């Protein structure tokens, strides 16, 4: 009975609703900023590869090395290591602002590799055709490579966003808020399993919504699916 009352109190006080909004806010804003950074990094990794549009072993090796370093560090350790960086950027090492900085630092290298993998799926014949028509490298990047990769990039964005959502829950261990904080403070630390499982359920619902929206956008942007429907 006590557990149900505490859960009801959290809901009536609006703490769970605030936790949902904070989780969504951290996840979406971190994903957006991480993609602003990770997308161009992924493009550079792709076009400077030995089979890329403008191969450059030096740039590709250096950038790939930096990306791999950040990807190889477990997020919980990276968070602790990046606390001084977050404080230098936003003036604090606590709260959502600091957590967003750390989420971006952790997610951007991951997104760069996801983008690189998506761009490699583009048929090289289309790139050659664009070259033969006199298209510049920038035109090929924006009008061929990126445009043809939209469905794959959308799928990758969904995967990355879900990953960042998981990171946001872990960020609660060092000062982040959201559902992760509620699950830890009111669920785990006070042995209230119903609160913990409610937070788990809400996280699952958020993941499902993100996936459904991503799948919808991916299908709408996939020319092959649109052509098959028209036929």
What is the pLDDT tens value at each position of the chain, 231 positions in all? 444 677 777 778 888 899 999 999 999 999 999 999 999 999 999 999 988 888 999 999 999 999 999 888 888 888 888 889 888 998 888 888 888 999 999 899 999 999 999 999 888 888 889 888 888 889 999 989 998 888 889 888 999 999 999 888 888 878 778 888 888 888 888 778 888 888 999 999 999 999 898 888 877 777 554 454 455
Note whether 37 and 187 are within 8 A (CB): no
Q: Are 169 and 24 in contact (CB under 8 A)?
A: no
Q: Which domains occur in the chain, in start order?
A: 2-230 (1.10.3720.10)
141 and 43 Cβ atoms separated by less than 8 Å:
yes
Of residues 43, 51, 24, the one with CA closest to residue 111: 43
Neighbours of 227 (CB within 10 A): 9
CA distance 79 to 99: 8
Instruction: Select from 96, 94, 105, 111 the least CA-distant residue to 24.
Output: 96
């Amino acid at each position: 009975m006590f557990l149900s009352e505490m859960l009801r109190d959290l809901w009536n006080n609006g703490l769970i609703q605030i936790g949902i909004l904070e989780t969504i806010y951290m996840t979406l804003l971190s994903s957006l900023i991480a993609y602003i950074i990770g997308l161009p990094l992924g493009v550079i990794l792709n076009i400077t590869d030995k089979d890329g549009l403008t191969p450059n072993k030096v740039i590709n090796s250096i950038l790939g090395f930096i990306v791999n370093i950040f990807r190889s560090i477990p997020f919980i350790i990276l968070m602790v290591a990046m606390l001084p960086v977050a404080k230098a950027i936003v003036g604090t090492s606590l709260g959502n602002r600091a957590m967003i900085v750390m989420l971006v630092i952790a997610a951007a290298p991951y997104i760069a590799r996801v983008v690189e993998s998506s761009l490699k799926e583009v048929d090289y014949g289309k790139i050659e055709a664009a070259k033969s028509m006199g298209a510049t490298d920038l035109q090929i990047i924006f009008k061929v490579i990126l445009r043809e990769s939209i469905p794959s990039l959308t799928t990758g964005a969904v995967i990355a966003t879900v990953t960042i959502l998981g990171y946001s829950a872990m960020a609660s261990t060092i000062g982040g808020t959201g559902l992760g904080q509620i699950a830890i403070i009111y669920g785990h630390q006070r042995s209230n399993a119903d609160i913990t499982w409610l937070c788990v359920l809400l996280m699952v619902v958020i993941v499902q919504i993100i996936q459904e929206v991503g799948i919808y956008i991916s299908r709408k942007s996939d020319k092959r699916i649109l052509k098959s429907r028209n036929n």
